[in-house]
Chains A and B, each alone.
Chain A
Amino acid sequence: MLDYILRRILYAFPILLGVNLLTFTLFFMVNTPDDMARIHLGAKHVTQEAIDTWKREHGYDKPLFYNADAGGVARLSETLFVDKSLRLFLFDFGAADDGRDIAREIQTRMWPSLAIALPTFVVGLLCYLSFALLLAFFRGTALDTGGVVLCVALMSISGLFYVIAGQYLMGKLWNWFPISGYQPGWAAWPFLVMPVIVGLVAGIGDSTRFYRALFLEEIGKDYVRTARAKGLSEPRVLFRHVLGNAMIPILTGVVVVIPRLFLGSLIIESFFGIPGLGSYTIDAIQAQDFAIVRSMVFLGSVLYIIGLVLTDLSYTLVDPRVRLE
């Protein structure tokens, strides 16, 4: 088991290296630091001097991969690739274009993100699974058909409309919650309810339909017929046998996203003014702050790989046949 986890962690390095090479290619080779300086300095005709000053101030004045001016190991280490890309492995994200430390920003901003993403995820999973079980229980009836049609209709609505409609109805028309904003500590809760509700509703169609399909596939199998034949009640068949056996495909989709909950949701956070990582990312994208985008890409990949390992571990919990070696 420990062996397995160690191996997976070692396997993560080539993947993260690949991710870094990819972002490095995009941000430093396709777009040279000169281009970046030109974008930030704004004016159409900036002098080369101004560009060089900007590059020196922001630490972009080294060569990409090979520093011919330095001697010894420094030839390889005094380069942009080591400075900007490999340092991410130490979770040393450096400073954003406005000079603030990215690592510190991430540490303070992940809590608001988590405060929204975690309840949305947990409540959502419970709701979607129950709806799907309900539809599977009433399979073939008008309730099932109506439910599926409703799911497809809900799936066909852009996520933006859920947010806009939610803010209009709950914030403006009925005046239940403040439309946007955030406060630290326990005072945050009135600001959290609406984003969570909107996030929940936005996911209903897609997830319920997916889980229903999973359950229906399990229901067609032989062990379900056996369970019914030995006289078990339908709810017991559904909850114990079908749900239990559908756990593997459910976990495959679910566990991967758990670590990523830290990153928050771009749309929800920016619409509701939550100072989390999602709105941080979207601000960085709009301000073309590549240092932040690179850091978030790296962080997202790390969290994804953790999610993959967790998925494998979770299989051992629900399925005694799975052994990790």
Chain B
Amino acid sequence: MKPVILWSDALLLLMLAVLALTFWRLRREEALRAPWRQVMRGRMGAVSGVLLLAFAVIGLLDSLHYVERLPDTEPGQPAQYGGEVRSALDALLTPLREGVEKTYSAPFATHLYVKQAMTRADGVDVRDYPRLAHGGAHLADPASEFWPDVSRRALAGLAGGVLLWLPLWLAFGRARAGRPASPGRRAAWATLLCVMLTAGLLVALAPHYHVLGTDKVGQDVLYLSLKSIRTGLLIGTLTTLIMLPFALTLGIAAGYFGGRVDDLIQYLYTTLNSIPGVLLIAAAVLVVQVQIETHPDWFDTAAARGDARLLALCGILGLTGWTGLARLLRGEVLKLRELEFVQAARAFGVRHTRILARHLLPNVMHLVLIALVIDFSGLVLAEAVLSYVGVGVDPGMNSFGNMINGARLELAREPVVWWQLAAAFVFLFTLVLAANLFADSVREALDPRGRRR
């Protein structure tokens, strides 16, 4: 086994490192901690925060990549590695990844969803629903054993979830002196319990049944959904990471310096804004796509190619998406630069760079944070639409957009295949709803008087 760090993994780790460092530096600054405490004290903020954290853990697990070492053909040879890049999540979900059926099967099914010609034990050829190779394969007689088996496993899973949660709660969760119970705290622990119960259920059931069914080529839908989370999270976070330097420097410079600089920057963002968003993104992605297609030698694995395209998409979304925040920052800085503390700093002869960094930047940081969390949900949703248009992530990559795109005609089938769409819907909806609610709480805490979309 050899760890592989894709570019997106590296950026993600970098982002986490920066976040951790910021937290470490700012942990004693009461004024900066207060709004976040307020977010987590509210019921909405706490619930959505815990849910987002659960998604983040899955996404992180899926970002620890490695390649498998192939069995040695001859002793003494240098080790050979397989071409398929896997992640820690793949390792955890091995039974799901390898439990591939022939084609569609319904959630918890023990038989395939379509009839096939087969030979019965007594030698007669019939067309019937064959047993699945993996889903419920351990049952000798599905008709009688199915419900007892499922309920036994489900109960065990739920119990496991509670057992996992209880010690945590006893240690950290209970109200004590110096740690009063708040609605947010209670809601957070209740949400954590729900998450753990769901996890317990899935751990108990998913290795033996296809909990969310299988898709057209027989892949487990739960596996596909869990793998799609990373793509959504990456697009939501990396894009803003790329957008931030542009929005910050250009927005603040336009507001602070005014005059020619302002004119130029305004011209820049009016031009970018005037192009219909999807078209600009499509144009840029098409160009990147042609570059990737004409240079297959740049990438050694399919994962690296998909990763390059994902990063390119984030970059393009970032380069086209900074205008909104920049305009907001420009307006705010226009107001701030006339205030006394900036005037005083100028009168003392403080250099421009220092005024910008010490006096203006901290005062617009709340706008930046709000924009970060608000953009997140929009970007996750945009991925789905862009993938449908054909300018999203690599078609071979697991993403909610590709999942919906592959399943969008399944409702027109007879009989209806609904589970892949339903799974994509539930996962995407939960993620985006949590992000939206969290964004609302953050905005409420950081900018109580602001009105922004």
Q: Which chain A residues have a beta carbon within 8 Å of chain B's beta carbons?
A: 14-16, 18-19, 22-23, 26-27, 30-31, 35-36, 38-39, 152-153, 155-161, 164, 167-168, 172, 179, 206, 210, 213-214, 217, 260, 263, 266-267, 281-282, 285-286, 288, 290, 293-294, 296-297, 300-301, 304-305
Chain A residues with CB under 8 Å of B293's CB are 39
Interface residues of B in 398-425 (CB under 8 A from A): 400, 404, 408, 411-412, 421, 425
B283 touches A152 (CB 8 A): no
The distance from the CB of B443 to the nearest CB of chain A, in whole angstroms, is 11
A285 touches B274 (CB 8 A): no
A285 and B286 contact, Cβ closer than 8 Å, known pairs A158-B385, A304-B274: yes
B271 touches A15 (CB 8 A): yes
Q: Bits for B284-313, please: 1 = Cβ < 8 Å to A, else 0.
A: 101101110110000000000000000000
The distance from the CB of B401 to the nearest CB of chain A, in whole angstroms, is 8
Which of B10-18, B147-155, B334-342, B432-440 sits within the interface?
Answer: B432-440
4 A-B pairs besides A15-B271, A19-B274, A300-B279 with CB distance below 8 A are: A26-B284, A38-B294, A281-B279, A304-B276
A305 to B270 CA separation, bound complex (whole angstroms): 9
CB-contact partner of B276 in A152, A260, A282, under 8 A:
A260
A150 to B386 CA separation, bound complex (whole angstroms): 26
**Nearest 4 pairs of A and B residues by beta carbon:** A300-B276, A18-B271, A156-B433, A156-B432
Chain A residues with CB under 8 Å of B411's CB are 164, 167-168, 172
12 contacts between A and B (CB under 8 A): A15-B274, A18-B267, A152-B437, A156-B433, A159-B385, A160-B408, A161-B425, A168-B411, A281-B282, A285-B389, A293-B283, A301-B275
Chain A residues with CB under 8 Å of B274's CB are 15-16, 19, 300-301, 304-305
B404 touches A15 (CB 8 A): no
A30 to B440 CA separation, bound complex (whole angstroms): 41
Chain B residues with CB under 8 Å of A294's CB are 283
Main secondary structure of the interface of B (DSSP, over half): helix
Closest to A39 in B: B290
Chain B residues with CB under 8 Å of A18's CB are 267-268, 271
Chain A residues with CB under 8 Å of B27's CB are none
Chain B residues with CB under 8 Å of A23's CB are 283
CB-contact partner of B385 in A14, A160, A301, under 8 A:
A160
Chain B residues with CB under 8 Å of A156's CB are 377, 429, 432-433, 435-436
CB-contact partner of B283 in A14, A286, A297, under 8 A:
A297
Chain B residues with CB under 8 Å of A297's CB are 275-276, 279-280, 283
Interface residues of B in 363-402 (CB under 8 A from A): 377, 381, 384-385, 388-391, 400
A152 and B270 contact, Cβ closer than 8 Å, known pairs A160-B408, A296-B279: no
Q: Bits for B115-158, please: 1 = Cβ < 8 Å to A, else 0.
A: 00000000000000000000000000000000000000000000
The distance from the CB of A44 to the nearest CB of chain B, in whole angstroms, is 9
A217 touches B451 (CB 8 A): yes
> B278 on the interface (CB 8 Å rule)?
yes
> B453 on the interface (CB 8 Å rule)?
yes
Chain B residues with CB under 8 Å of A293's CB are 279, 282-283, 286
The distance from the CB of A110 to the nearest CB of chain B, in whole angstroms, is 14
Chain B residues with CB under 8 Å of A155's CB are 377, 432, 436
A31 touches B290 (CB 8 A): yes
A213 to B400 CA separation, bound complex (whole angstroms): 31
The distance from the CB of A78 to the nearest CB of chain B, in whole angstroms, is 25
Closest to A164 in B: B408
Closest to B277 in A: A300
A159 and B381 contact, Cβ closer than 8 Å, known pairs A39-B290, A282-B389, A297-B275: yes
B404 touches A158 (CB 8 A): yes
The distance from the CB of B266 to the nearest CB of chain A, in whole angstroms, is 10
Chain A residues with CB under 8 Å of B273's CB are 304
CB-contact partner of B433 in A152, A164, A206, A305, under 8 A:
A152
A35 to B290 CA separation, bound complex (whole angstroms): 7
A155 to B283 CA separation, bound complex (whole angstroms): 27
A304 to B272 CA separation, bound complex (whole angstroms): 11
Chain A residues with CB under 8 Å of B437's CB are 152
CB-contact partner of B384 in A19, A160, A260, A263, under 8 A:
A160
Chain A residues with CB under 8 Å of B433's CB are 152-153, 156
A263 to B425 CA separation, bound complex (whole angstroms): 28
Interface residues of B in 47-72 (CB under 8 A from A): none
A14 to B274 CA separation, bound complex (whole angstroms): 12
The distance from the CB of A166 to the nearest CB of chain B, in whole angstroms, is 11
A285 touches B275 (CB 8 A): no
A213 to B450 CA separation, bound complex (whole angstroms): 10
Chain B residues with CB under 8 Å of A305's CB are 274
The distance from the CB of A269 to the nearest CB of chain B, in whole angstroms, is 12
The distance from the CB of A189 to the nearest CB of chain B, in whole angstroms, is 23
B436 touches A152 (CB 8 A): yes
> B428 on the interface (CB 8 Å rule)?
yes
Q: Bits for B161-185, please: 1 = Cβ < 8 Å to A, else 0.
A: 0000000000000000000000000
Chain B residues with CB under 8 Å of A179's CB are 412
Closest to B449 in A: A217
A39 to B291 CA separation, bound complex (whole angstroms): 10
A297 to B271 CA separation, bound complex (whole angstroms): 11
Closest to B425 in A: A161
Chain B residues with CB under 8 Å of A296's CB are 276, 279
A267 to B392 CA separation, bound complex (whole angstroms): 14
A266 touches B389 (CB 8 A): yes
A308 to B194 CA separation, bound complex (whole angstroms): 49
The distance from the CB of A174 to the nearest CB of chain B, in whole angstroms, is 14
Chain B residues with CB under 8 Å of A263's CB are 276
A158 touches B384 (CB 8 A): yes
A297 to B428 CA separation, bound complex (whole angstroms): 30
Chain B residues with CB under 8 Å of A27's CB are 283, 287
A139 to B338 CA separation, bound complex (whole angstroms): 36
Of B274, B280, B391, B435, most buried by chain A (CB within 10 Å of CB) is B274
Chain A residues with CB under 8 Å of B428's CB are 158
Chain A residues with CB under 8 Å of B432's CB are 155-158
A288 touches B286 (CB 8 A): yes
